[in-house]
Amino acid sequence: MQALSLTPQPLTAEAFAAFGDVIEARSDTVININQGTSQRFHDLARVDVAFGEGYPLVNIFRASPYPEPLTLSMMEKHPLGSQLFMPLQQHAYLVAVAQTSDQVSAGDITVFSANGNQGVNFQPGTWHHPLLVLIQQDFLVVDRGGKGDNLVEQGLDQSVLISLG
């Protein structure tokens, strides 16, 4: 079977809303704090890790690029909690997602291009591909710790080729 070809679209809060939150410094969220010496970009994501006896984990992930051509053959989801990724080196990267469902197929996937100043927070149960970086970089990750199976992986019914243009 021939691979499904997808072209990344720009990551925006509106386009990503069905999958979670886009984390970025937006003027509509800014609050001046600390006697005016700092700006707080407020309430950028809803971290949801409380299912069962869940608790927040703060991690750093070091991601390396997949070999080219960039082809997806699986997706994963975390049904018990959200998962937040914020790039630390500010390099552009890709985000492949599909809406929450029991199963995911290649035709359900949308690919976004993040500009390197944007992070993402996946809602619980959102299908996503592991980190898709174009150059090695680190991410601050807020994830769920605790009891329960919080990882579901599934192979795709058709491979997905990401067209980088």
Domain extent, residue 106, equals: 4-162
Over the stretch 4-42, which tens digit does the pLDDT of each residue have?
999 999 999 999 999 999 999 988 889 999 999 999 999
One-letter amino acid at 154 equals Q
Contact 94, 132 (CB under 8 A): yes
Q: DSSP alpha helices (H): ranges in the chain? A: 13-16
Between CA 75 and CA 96 the distance in angstroms is: 9
Q: Any idea what the CATH number is for the domain that residue 94 is in? A: 2.60.120.480
pLDDT in tens, 121-163: 999 999 999 999 999 999 999 999 999 999 999 999 999 999 9
Is-cis flag, bond preceding 10, omega within 30?
A: no
Q: Where is pLDDT greater, at 159 or 52? A: 159
Give the pLDDT score at 1. Answer: 76
Give Cβ neighbours of residue 28 (< 8 Å, ≥ 6 apart).
none
Report the percent of the chain where pLDDT is more than 70. Answer: 100
Residue 88 to residues 7, 84, 154: CA-CA distances in angstroms? 25, 13, 28
pTM for the whole structure: 0.94
| Structural domain total, the chain | 1
